[in-house]
Amino acid sequence: MQHCAADSTIQHSAPSPGRFDLLVREIPFRDPLAAFAPWAGEPTAALLHSAAEAGGRGRVTYLAVEPFRIIEAFDDAVTVDGGPVAGDPFTVLERELAAFRLPPGVAPVPFATGAVGFLGYELGRTLERLPARHGNDLGIPDMAFGLYDVAIAFDMVERRAWILSSGFPERDPAARQARAERRADAVAARVAQAPDELPPPPRAVASWRPELSREEYMARVARILEYIRAGDIFQANFTGRMLAPRPQGVSAYDIFRRLTALSPAPFAAYLGCGERLTLASVSPERFLKLDADGRIETRPIKGTRPRGATPEEDAALARDLHASVKDRAENLMITDLLRNDIGRVCAIGSVRVPALCEVETFASVHHLVSVIEGRLRPGLGPIDLLRATFPGGSITGAPKIRAMEIIDELEEARRGPYCGSVAWIGFDGAMDSSIVIRTLALTHEAVVAQAGGGIVADSDPGKEHDEMMVKIRPLLRALGED
């Protein structure tokens, strides 16, 4: 999750006289992976880990623990703390957040407590009329968010750390402050009990099974090419799943630690999504960032090359990606789509593209990344922005709705969390979120890995399968042989 601002320093304003806003308590800096250990086995704990620096997007790691409210969506039902409520998932999340407000600038970091969770890809059906050919084969939620009154923030650059405690759901300022103190004390005590460092995670080997063979994958890419030639679409993002039985004797957190060591990323996340699901993500891609003052940024990724075995080969692969007509065209299509999406809720004239098709390098791949910015119209908030843009254009295609129809037709199963978004949404109206790629979804019985790529007119089915394998390989290695 981009979990930080790109500023060289982090500042916050003093509390307003006569009222309680937020308790901010500085604590000694330590390894956030070790600090999270006391909560790692809990079903609603979240670690948003800036595991790699990427242009200022790998600075602050957040631990969000012990939520006071749980919001879930499962198929057509939405629950709050286990009880059914009226409204679609976006409306319910917006309503629950609206009950708790903080002014901007009260924390030393962008996230000043709030909601943390995920939105599954299939939530797009609550926003548009879309087919639903696949059942929920894993029996997992479509959305899960906790409202967290306490967070721990680690500035990975300045090596400082804070406990942030808002005192919600109390309403009275004095009661809020008293709760904030109690909660900060309790969390600080648990952090103090955490080990200074963790041993290397144990290795476990999974028996991975692709749902589609190479030949089947290529045949479905060929079918997308037929749709493109017929004029139905310009691009569709096609993906495939690999599944394995959940290995015994290794925790989900151990799997995440091994994954993030193999493939560090600025939007890594370990997310407890209830009793049924845990996400271990090392996403490199920001979906939406919204500052409390309304500034928007989205950074779509389209175009991939593997890292080279030598510095010379690595540089050559990066140059080849930057010069690729096919990859640049793919990126440009999605940049245009996202300009249109955020333009639905932005002030007229505020949308711009300060970076187009720039190469960014990560642990196992080079990517082409563009940057689109805008300013949210007055009176709108983070959920309005999500409604206008979800799911992300980089993992759907163009035109978006027709591409999603073709995805439903040709992919073997529903996507679930994959290609959705992991997000934090602050009580002050700020937000940051990732596209859920490079992610393992873990249930009690199974582990799911998924990857794919954008198919355009000059795509080669065999090369598309090769690119999918480049992307999925670090996930397989996390539960496989080196």
326 catalytic? Reply is: no
Count other Cβ atoms within 10 Å, centred on residue 191. 23
106: left (phi over 0), alpha (psi -120 to 50) or beta: alpha
In this structure, is residue 17 part of a structural domain? no
Give per-residue pLDDT as tens, 55-105: 567 789 999 999 999 999 998 899 999 999 999 999 999 999 999 999 999
CB 434 within 8 A of CB 1: yes
Match 């003093």 to its residue by tokens: 14
412 catalytic? Reply is: no
**Interatomic CA distance for residues 419 and 436, integer angstroms:** 5
In this structure, is residue 12 part of a structural domain? no
In this structure, is residue 446 part of a structural domain? yes
**Interatomic CA distance for residues 162 and 149, integer angstroms:** 14
Give per-residue pLDDT as tens, 215-229: 999 999 999 999 999
pLDDT confidence of residue 181? 98
What letter does residue 163 receive in the DSSP assignment?
A: E
Distances from the Cα of 367 to the Cαs of 40, 108, 192, 243, 266, in angstroms?
A: 31, 31, 40, 26, 14
Selected catalytic residue, list 72, 94, 285, 411: 285
- The CATH number of the domain where 54 resides is what? 3.60.120.10
In this structure, is residue 310 part of a structural domain? yes
In this structure, is residue 164 part of a structural domain? yes
Give per-residue pLDDT as tens, 283-336: 999 999 999 999 999 999 999 999 999 999 999 999 999 999 999 999 999 999
Residue 298: both structure tokens together: 């989205």
Whether pLDDT at 434 is above 60:
yes
Count other Cβ atoms within 10 Å, centred on residue 247. 17
pTM of the model: 0.94
Return the closest-CA partner of residue 110 out of 198, 232, 4, 259: 4
**Interatomic CA distance for residues 40 and 56, integer angstroms:** 27
CB 382 within 8 A of CB 431: yes
pLDDT confidence of residue 363? 84
Selected catalytic residue, list 302, 360, 400, 467: 302
| Structural domain that includes position 214 | 23-478
Residue 227: both structure tokens together: 């749709």
Return the closest-CA partner of residue 153 out of 60, 257, 269, 250: 60
Residue 39: both structure tokens together: 């909560």
Give per-residue pLDDT as tens, 436-479: 999 999 999 999 999 999 999 999 999 999 999 999 999 999 99
In this structure, is residue 322 part of a structural domain? yes
Q: How many domains does the chain have?
A: 1
Q: Give the H/E segment covering residue 292.
A: none
In this structure, is residue 461 part of a structural domain? yes
Q: Residue 64: CB partners within 8 Å, gap ≥ 6? A: 45, 46, 47, 48, 113, 116, 146, 148, 150, 151, 424
Match 């990560």 to its residue by tokens: 362
Return the closest-CA partner of residue 436 out of 296, 273, 210: 273
In this structure, is residue 79 part of a structural domain? yes
Helical H segments across 76-213, by residue range:
89-98, 173-193
